[in-house]
Copies of this chain bind each other. A is one copy, B any other.
Amino acid sequence: MLSIGLLGCGRIGKVHAQSIAQLEGARVAAVADAFEEPARMLAAQTGAKLMTPLALIEDASVDAIVIGTPTDTHYDLIHAATASGKAIFCEKPVDMSADRIRDCIDAVRSAGIPFLTAFNRRFDPNFANVQSRIAAGEIGEVEIVTIQSRDPEPPPLDYIKSSGGLFRDMMIHDLDMARFLLGEEPVSVYAVGAALVDPEIGQSGDVDTAAVTLTTARGRICQITNSRRASYGYDQRIEIHGAKGMLRAENMLENTVEIATASGFTKAPAQHFFLERYQAAYRAEMAHFIDCVTRGRQPSPNIVDGLRAQILADAATHSRETGQVISVA
C-alpha cells in the first residue's frame, strides 16, 4: 500500500485525491496547502494527516508526493522531495524556465527517483488508443498530425497575465501530444496568433487564438490550433494521417442523444471542460504512477518530457513574437 502525500489541495489536488480513492494499492496519507481551509477539508474527507509541505515531504511514512501547487513553487518542492528520496508526481509545467527544469532533472537523476510529469492527456483512453495503434503500425509511418484544442471560455485576465502566455499555459499540452504522436522530435516551430476573443488579452501581450506548425527531421508535419473559446464545449481532437490510413479521436459528447427536427439532426455539445473530459485520464495517469512507483519503474512522460514540451512552448512563444521560424534541432 503506497502512502501518498498531496501538496496542494485546490481543484486539481481534489481530482488526484479522488483518483487515489478509486484505485487499489495506494492511499492519501497526508495533505498540505498554503491555505488551511481547503487542506483541512481534504484531510477530513480522505482521513489523511494535515501537515506543512516540508514536514510532509520529510515524513518517513510518505512514499510519494503529488505536487499540485502553483508552478512557481515546483522548483523548491522538487528539490526538497528529491533530497528526501520521494517519488514525484508533478503537475505541468515543471517550471516556467527551461534552465530551472534542467536543474530539477539533475536533482531527480542524482536521487534516482521516479518522476511523472502530469501530461494527463496521454492517459485519455481515446488518445492512448490512437497512440498505441500508431505504434502497432495500423496506419503505417506517420505523415501529418493535426491537433485541435479549444477551451470553452477564456480564464480570468489575472490568470492569463501570470500564465506565461497561451503557448506555455495551454498549448503545452498539445505540444506534448505532438511529441507523443509524431514518433520523432520536432526540429522547427512556427507559430501565429492573435487576440480575437478578447482585446484585453491582446493588450496584456498574450493571444487567445493560435496555430503552430512543427516539422521533424524526416519531414513529418504537425499542425496545432488553439482557441480560448468554443461555444460547443471543450474541443479536444486529434487526427493522424499515415502511409496506410488515418486515425482520429473525436470529442466526447455530453450524451449519445440525437434529436431530429426540421432543423436537422442535433447531438449534444462536447463535455464542458477538462474535469469531465479527462476524468478517466486522471485516474489512468495516477494508476500508472502508482504502478511505476510500486514496481520501481520510471513513469512516462518523465521529467525530460516536461523539459522538451517547455522548450517547444518557448520556441512557439518566440516565433509568434518575432514572426520567424524557430529551429529547435
Q: List A residues at the B interface (Cβ < 8 Å).
A: 125-126, 129-130, 133, 138-139, 141, 143-144, 146, 148, 150, 188, 190, 192-197, 209-211, 213, 215, 218-221, 223, 225, 227, 229-232, 235, 241, 243-253, 255-270, 323-325
A15 CA to B231 CA, complexed, in Å: 36
Q: For the complex of A and B, list the 5 residue pairs with the smallest distance between their C-beta atoms, beginning with the closest.
A: A194-B219, A232-B260, A245-B261, A246-B260, A266-B266
A250's closest neighbor in chain B, by CB?
B256
Query: A93 CB to closest chain B CB, in angstroms?
Result: 24
Given A209-B219, A247-B259, A263-B266, 11 new contacts (CB under 8 A): A138-B259, A143-B209, A144-B211, A193-B221, A197-B243, A232-B261, A245-B261, A246-B259, A246-B261, A252-B256, A265-B266
| CB <8 Å contact, B265 and A143 | no
- Chain B residue at minimal CB-CB distance from A192: B215
Q: List 20 A-B contacts (CB under 8 A).
A: A126-B256, A130-B257, A133-B259, A139-B259, A144-B211, A144-B227, A146-B148, A188-B192, A188-B323, A213-B223, A225-B241, A232-B261, A232-B262, A245-B261, A248-B260, A249-B256, A250-B257, A253-B265, A264-B269, A325-B325
Question: Is A194 a contact partner of B209 (Cβ separation < 8 A)?
Answer: no
In the complex, A209→B267 CA distance in Å? 26
Q: How far is the CA of A192 from the CA of B143 in the complex (A)?
A: 12
Tell me which of B125, B192, B269 contacts A265 (CB under 8 A). B269
Question: Do B125 and A255 have beta carbons less than 8 Å apart?
Answer: yes
Given A190-B325, A324-B325, is A231 in contact with B213 using a C-beta cutoff of 8 Å? no
CB contacts (< 8 Å) of A211 on chain B: these are 144, 213, 221, 223
The interface residues of chain B lying within 8 Å CB-to-CB of A245 are: 231-232, 259-262
List the B side residues contacting A190 at CB < 8 Å. Answer: 190, 192, 213, 325
Indicate if the CB atoms of A219 and B195 lie closer than 8 Å.
yes
Q: CB within 8 A of A244: which of B126, B231, B325?
A: B231
Which of B129, B243, B255, B258 interacts with A257 by CB under 8 Å? B129
> Are A194 and B223 closer than 8 Å at their CB atoms?
no
Chain B contacts of A215 at CB under 8 A? Answer: 192, 194
- Asked whether B213 lies within 8 Å of A192 as measured between CB atoms, the reply is yes
A213 to chain B, nearest CB (A): 6
Contact across chains for A266 and B264 when beta carbons are under 8 A apart: yes
A262 near B269 with CB under 8 A, answer: yes
Contact B243 A260, beta carbon cutoff 8 Å? no
Q: Are B265 and A257 in contact (CB under 8 A)?
A: no
Q: How far is the CA of A231 from the CA of B143 in the complex (A)?
A: 13
A229 and B255 form a contact (CB under 8 A)? no
Cα distance A324–B235 in the bound complex, in angstroms: 31
Asked whether A248 lies within 8 Å of B243 as measured between CB atoms, the reply is: no
Question: In the bound complex, do residue B268 and residue A267 qualify as a contact, i.e. CB atoms below 8 Å apart?
Answer: no
A133 cross-chain contacts in B, Cβ below 8 A = 257, 259
* Residue among A133, A225, A324 with the highest chain B CB neighbour number at 10 A: A225
